[in-house]
Structure 1
């Protein structure tokens, strides 16, 4: 039988994870409202941002990996973005069936407009929070992400 009793760190982390779920849902909802007039959703905005951050065009599978997301979901979003002419596909010299996703000029304009909306929103959200606390939280979340991505010490929830 598995040990179901949490140690103090496990209990604190469990509480944090539950709060992260709630915060994530609220951030997505707020993001949807923020960029709705641009024809975006939080998911579309996130994919555009991932494309912007890459050093060179990537296939959908690599974008999904970078996002920590499901490839099929990212493919659906990329297809929608392509339908709206925000991204385009280019031939991939390394893989015929995995085209590279590139941002169009229209996609860059929409992404930049979203970021102009995001700046005052995020500044207002940060108001009253200490930079040191935000940085500490960021380090903890980054460490958790790295553990979940690779060292095998984290088991799947049951």
Structure 2
């Protein structure tokens, strides 16, 4: 890898990390008046078009199943979502928004629309905004392809009767 490639990777990563923080902050502001957090809104948004199992939501969002499970349970406890049977898997129930959950997300729409309009203007129009989204989707797909091609290394074969190597540093 050349120094220029390393610099491009570093700039991209730092930009994405900063952008993530900016999106989380504005999402919290938009969601708060609706009685939601950004995380609750994100999980509810994943199931607005149809129920999904927690693992499916986690895959779509790129986060752990345990994180989504915790949020899903909170949404159900608050009456914003419910679990329903999953015909494809007896134990992996489907999460679906309740009418109250849909209404809460609906209360975010005006602020969301205003932010979209402002970003469209700031980026120089709809086509520029669409191109920005395409580039981010392409970057995500490339990262996914790299991750998929890097299978975890296999552990060394076990040798019966030998102790595993010590992980503590030797005093020199």
**TM-score bin, normalised by smaller chain:** 0.7 to 0.9
Q: CA deviation at 1:45?
A: 0.8
Structure 2, unmatched stretches of 5+, are: 153-172
Structure with larger Rg: 2
Which of 131, 143, 148 is the matching residue for 2:143? 148
Q: CA deviation at 1:91?
A: 1.3
The TM-score normalised by the length of structure 1 is: 0.83
1:66-81 equivalent positions in 2, closer than 5 A: 66-81=60-75
1:65-144 equivalent positions in 2, closer than 5 A: 65-131=59-125, 132-144=127-139
Question: Counterparts of 1:41 and 1:12 in 2: how far apart (Å)?
Answer: 33
Q: CA deviation at 1:7?
A: 4.3
Give the aligned length.
Answer: 150
Q: CA deviation at 1:126?
A: 3.2
Which of 22, 43, 46 is the matching residue for 1:47? 43
Structure 1, unmatched stretches of 5+, are: none
RMSD value over aligned CA atoms?
2.2
Other structure's SS at 2:83 match: strand
Other structure's SS at 2:114 match: helix
Other structure's SS at 1:27 match: helix
Instruction: Answer yes or no: is the 8 Å Cα contact 1:58–1:101 preserved in 2.
Output: yes
Other structure's SS at 2:122 match: coil
> Which residue is 1:8 aligned to?
4
The TM-score normalised by the length of structure 2 is: 0.77
